[in-house]
Structure formats: structure tokens, C-alpha cells
Amino acid sequence: MARKTLTDKGVAAIKPRAKTYTHSDPMLPGHYVRVTPSGTKSFVAVARDPRGKQVWTTIGNTALIGIEEAREEACEVIKRVKAGQDRAGPQSFESVANEWLHRHVDAKGLRSLYEYKRLLHKHLLPEWGGREFTSIKRIDVAKLLDTVEDEAGARSADYVLSLISGITNWYAKRDGEYVSPLIRGMYRHSIKAHARTRILADDEICAIWTAYEQGHTYGDLLKLALLTGQRQDKVASMRWDDISIDGAWHVPNGGREKGAGGVLVLPTVALDIIQARPRFASSSYVFAGHDSYIKGFAKLKRALDAKVPIPHWQFHDLRRTARSLMSRAGVRPDVAERVLGHAIRGVEGTYDRHSYREEKAHALNALAGLIETILNPPAGNVIKIANKTSR
């Protein structure tokens, strides 16, 4: 006679056989105990999807889950399979975020991977990690941003919002029924209102240039950043192999340049700085650090500020200064933008595939020449603007 019920005690009493087999649960059709020859037992659910394909789903090991809980889970799985839905059920925020990191950020080699992980583990996963992804609504986002803004400021809240936007937009492309909870106007910090316009004056350029003797690591880094208009990390991570024998720096492409890195033929003064740098067999970097290239920029900047007290300036101001100096030297705007590695938008960026190698070389030589004039102005050619008589 068939057993009318199956209890945890009954599951424990099921004996293994020479081959794996299943023991049916009389209380729920499609629910079984799978028993292996070694004696390992698992609850499984079996159902056919709308196409008639039989789908087996493991619920869990009988040593870790009771039969009542297994029945409830199996019932939900059977319903989802018969309805043609994902048998795994709703995804958690953490599972979606990890898949986004793997398939979007890590797969594309984006430099922001470390920062994204930091923000996820600090702000998002503690609040939403186990929640069903689609259950997160606009009010949940707003409350989280309020907390981040109160603790770390509006800019940090916007970084978190950008991360949420990346994840939700990616998920929306994969699920036609999902609607992102984000709308325009949720940012807390106005980039336009707080955009920096600071460039260094000629006397400030002189002060920074002469702050350190030639060969000083941070001093050389500052000079090359001004001479090339490149970002701090881009200059700091320069490798000896990136410089070809003809003096061209093959600037690696990066996420922020969007494939516009390219080649910069360096002016003589920049090459002299590079060639004077010490080379170490243990490092491939021009600015060698402890493990890779030079780090600890904040500490180095504070030491420079103590030595040369220039008010309210940042390292990135060197890049803006270099761009402005190129305009001052008569360099075409589109060429200057290409020197900086900015992506050229529109039809021009799509169809103009010229490398601009020679044009960028001319721009950097013009920039170097203007910097040389600033550092060593021609004698007797100083004009006192304040005393100039207007007509």
C-alpha cells in the first residue's frame, strides 16, 4: 500500500540502492527525494514547461532543509516552470549587481571596477543585497540617497546614483517588462554649477615648475602633465615600452578616453625629462613605485602645497591649463582636443579616421615653446598692462 505521507523521519529512513533513484512525495506530485548510492539525499521538483520539456530542479539537501519547507519551494518552482517563467524565481539585487559587474564592467576592462565594488559594498548591498531586484522603487532610491548625502555629501550621493543607474539600465535592456525606478532630476550635486574653471597663471606655472630639481619624481610628473595635457594617472602609469625610439608616446586607451588615446610625439623637453628618469630592472614604469607605479598623490600634493603655497589648485588644473595654453599658442581647437584624448562627437568623430599624429606633434611643440617663454621671458620685452594707456 502506498504511503499517505512523508515526514522528515521517513526521509531519513529511505535507504540507498546500487543506482541513483527517486522516491516520490505522496503529498505533492512532482516532488521527489533523490537518493544516490552514497546515501546523499536531495529534494527535487520535476515539471514540464509550456513546450513539453521536462525540467528538473534541485531544491536542497535533506540534511539542510526540512520536507515542509522543501514542499513549499517545490510548489513555487513547479508553478514557475509550467508558466514558462525562470525556475530560479526573482533575482536579488546582489545577484543582478554581481552579474552587471561581471558582464559589463569587468568584461569591458573599465577602470572604475574597484570604485564600483567599493560603493556597492559600502552603500547598496547593506540596504538592498537580499531584496528582490524589481521590488526596489523610486522611494527606496531617494531614501538611500538621502542617507548617503547626510553621511558623505551630495557628490557621493550622485556617485551612488550613477552606479544604480548603470545597473538598472543594463537590466532594463535584458528584461522587456522591467521599468527603471529612476527619473531625470534625481542628482543632488550640480556638475554645471560646480564645474571648475581654474587655470594656472604664468607666475604659478613658474612656481610649480621650479619647486623641485630635475629628477624629482613628483616634480617630473607635474612637468610632463603640463607638457602633454594628460591625466595624472595616465602620466604616472607611463611605461618605458610605451615610448618608441622616435620619441612617440603610445598612450594606452582607457574607459574615459573612449578609444581616443592614440600616439603623441613628445617635444624634446618632455623626452629629456623621461630619459633622465632612473630605470629599474624590477619595474617597467617610468615613475616606478613600490609595487607598480607611483601612488600616494594626495600626500605628494600636500608636500608641494607646503613648499609652494598656491591657493585653490588641483592637479587636474594642469590639464585645463595645458588646453588653454594650446589655444593661446594658436593650436586648432579640434587638434587640442585630440591631444587631450577627448572623443570627438558627431559626424566628424565617426567619419574622420585620420590619426592626426603630425598635427598633435606640432601642438605639443607649440605648447612646450609657450611654456619655455613663460619660464624664460625675453629680456626687455615685458609689458606692464596696468600702465597701458587706452585710446
pLDDT in the model for residue 259: 44
pLDDT in the model for residue 130: 79
Question: Domain check: are 106 and 155 in the same one?
Answer: yes
Question: Domain check: are 110 and 68 in the same one?
Answer: no
Question: Domain check: are 42 and 126 in the same one?
Answer: no
Q: How far apart are CA 34 and CA 31, in angstroms?
A: 10
Q: How far apart are CA 279 and CA 354, in angstroms?
A: 34
Give the global pTM.
Answer: 0.58
Q: How far apart are CA 25 and CA 73, in angstroms?
A: 14
Question: Domain check: are 70 and 115 in the same one?
Answer: no
Residue 183 lies in a domain: no
Q: How many CA atoms lie within 13 A of 232 on its CB side?
A: 15
Q: How far apart are CA 95 and CA 117, in angstroms?
A: 13
The enclosing domain of 24 has a CATH number of 3.30.160.390
- Name the band, by pLDDT with cuts 50, 70 and 90, for residue 250: very high
pLDDT at 174 over 70: yes
Q: How many domains does the chain have?
A: 3
Q: How far apart are CA 194 and CA 155, in angstroms?
A: 10
DSSP 279-312: --TT--BTTB-SSSB---HHHHHHHHHHHS--TT
pLDDT at 384 over 50: no
| Residue appearing with cell numbers 531625470 | 184
Residue 188 lies in a domain: no
The answer to whether the CB of 238 falls within 8 A of the CB of 288 is no
The shares of helix, strand and coil residues in the chain, as percent rounded to the nearest 5, are 50, 10, 45
**Sign of CA pseudo-dihedral 270, 271, 273, 277:** positive
Q: Which residues form the domain of 111?
A: 93-174
Q: How far apart are CA 160 and CA 122, in angstroms?
A: 10
pLDDT in the model for residue 1: 44
For 92, the grid coordinates are 536579488
Question: Domain check: are 52 and 102 in the same one?
Answer: no
Q: What is the mean pLDDT of the chain?
A: 88
Taking only the tens place, the pLDDT of each residue in 272-327 is: 999 999 999 999 999 998 888 998 998 999 999 999 999 999 999 999 999 999 99
Question: Domain check: are 211 and 319 in the same one?
Answer: yes
Q: How far apart are CA 4 and CA 120, in angstroms?
A: 49
Question: Which whole-number Å values give the CA distances from 22 to 17, 32, 37, in the listed order?
Answer: 10, 6, 11
The enclosing domain of 355 has a CATH number of 1.10.443.10
Residue 197 lies in a domain: no
Domain boundary at 18, 47, 82, which? 82
- Name the band, by pLDDT with cuts 50, 70 and 90, for residue 89: low
Q: How far apart are CA 160 and CA 115, in angstroms?
A: 10
Residue 110 lies in a domain: yes
E strand or H helix that includes residue 362: helix 357-375
Question: Domain check: are 99 and 43 in the same one?
Answer: no
N- to C-terminal Cα distance for the chain? 117
Taking only the tens place, the pLDDT of each residue in 21-51 is: 999 999 999 999 999 999 999 999 999 988 8
Question: Domain check: are 254 and 326 in the same one?
Answer: yes
pLDDT in the model for residue 290: 83
Q: How far apart are CA 366 and CA 363, in angstroms?
A: 5
Residue 182 lies in a domain: no
Residue 209 lies in a domain: yes
Residue 181 lies in a domain: no
190: amino acid identity, one letter: S
Taking only the tens place, the pLDDT of each residue in 61-85 is: 999 999 999 999 999 999 988 888 7
- Torsion over CA of 290, 294, 300 and 301, rounded to 10 degrees? -160
Percent of the chain surpassing pLDDT 90: 65
pLDDT in the model for residue 254: 57
Helix 217-228 and helix 316-328, axial crossing angle in degrees, nearest 10: 40
Q: What are phi and psi of 302, to 5 degrees?
A: -65, -40
pLDDT at 124 over 60: yes
Residue 163 lies in a domain: yes
Strand duo 41-48 + 31-35: pairing: antiparallel
The answer to whether the CB of 228 falls within 8 A of the CB of 266 is yes
- Name the band, by pLDDT with cuts 50, 70 and 90, for residue 264: very high
Question: Which whole-number Å values give the CA distances from 230 to 31, 67, 306, 315, in the listed order?
Answer: 63, 63, 24, 11
Question: Domain check: are 76 and 102 in the same one?
Answer: no
Question: Domain check: are 63 and 206 in the same one?
Answer: no
**Sign of CA pseudo-dihedral 265, 270, 272, 278:** negative
